Amino acid sequence: MNKALNDSFHFERAGLWLKNRAVLAPLTHNMSGAGGDPGQAELDWLVRCARGGFGLLIAAATQVQPGGRCWAGQPALMTDAQQQAFTTLATRVTQAGTLAVVQLHHGGVRALPELNEGAPVGPCELAPGGRYPLGVKGLSEEGILAVVEAFVHAAERAYAAGLHGVELHAAHNFLLCNFLNPLHNQRTDRWGGTLPNRARILIEIIRGIRARLPRTFLVGVRLSPESYAHIQGIELPHQLAVAHLLADEEIDYLHFSMGDSFKAVDGDPDGGSLLGAVQAGLAGRVPLMVAGSIRDAASAQLALAGGADLVAVGTAALGNPDWMTKVSRGLPLLQAPFTATRLEEVGFTASALGYLAGMGVLAPHDAA
């Protein structure tokens, strides 16, 4: 089947339609308050992207539990006031004809001690030193169940706010990824050892959401297909096995954070395509969204032709919140890195510019 970017997309199990296959990727902006209250500038920017034509937007990694914070300006969905902010967002985005989900997140071993109360938590205890100056606290059974409840309760808040679903962040060495990783998760109880045990925390969250909320509420999962940055332990065959466990739970989509959607599989002497391997490995069991190097209409179409059902636009959307409108009309896109002036024009604050400078998104003379 030939897929085009402007084609509508049907989440069959949920009965929801997208007006096109373009998705705003969950992008960290560092514009929320110290306590996680979503900043007005951040909400306004998301609405700008909805009005700019995206069929689906995914709000940035959003904290579900104290202790899991990774960025000073990270939003949260833990209080009534935070829920109300997302209610306003949902109303404005829906008016633009776009569906909105929020990415639910716990930093796990990557949570910053200076933004939380003490050492980060993970599947297992790690001694202080190196990357973890305070060490890592291994979660107890009660602690794991509290994490599960925190994710499920945040999903309930998202539903009450009028959002169309949630995405569970199980990529990039955050908590749910920590549990999946066989090198990080050395537990010998029901939360470790075999793959089904290591995936149990993620599956229990999905089942909890399904038990409490209508089937029309979307549940997606973000995975890393391979090891992330300097972190080892995540390999493609393992992640495809995880994907099949998730497909058994009837998730609505799987979001692979590819880094580069057009790269070869790591360690493949024949240079096989990562996207091709993912598409073949999933065997059509769950809709596939990919993020990574989706910059323009040509790259989006190439990803769709390679097996993706949905394409998530990240860096390119920062300077082009009207990305979908531009590509639909054949208008030129601004190219990254963007000037500070441009990012200010589309609504980014000083705190956001400082963060984006560190990510290499600002033009060099502006980042100085």
What confidence tens digit (pLDDT) does each residue in 254-302 have? Answer: 999 999 999 999 988 787 899 999 999 999 999 999 999 999 999 999 9
Render pLDDT for 298-323 as a digit per residue (tens, 0 to 9): 999 999 999 999 999 999 999 999 99
Better pLDDT: 230 or 273: 273
Q: Does pTM surpass 0.95? A: yes
Are 336 and 68 in contact by the 8 Å Cβ rule? The answer is no
What mean pLDDT is reported for the chain?
96
Closest C-alpha to 212, from 144, 154, 145, 162 = 154
Per-residue pLDDT reduced to its tens digit, 162-216: 999 999 999 999 999 999 999 999 999 999 999 999 999 999 999 999 999 999 9
pLDDT at 1 over 90: no
Query: Would the pLDDT of 34 be above 70?
Result: yes
- Alpha-carbon distance of 179 to 189, in angstroms, equals 12
Which residues face 18 on adjacent strands? 9
Give the pLDDT score at 269: 75
Give residue 368's pLDDT.
46
Q: Which one-letter amino acid corresponds to residue 225?
A: P
Between CA 68 and CA 108 the distance in angstroms is 6
On the question of pLDDT at 345 being above 50, the answer is yes
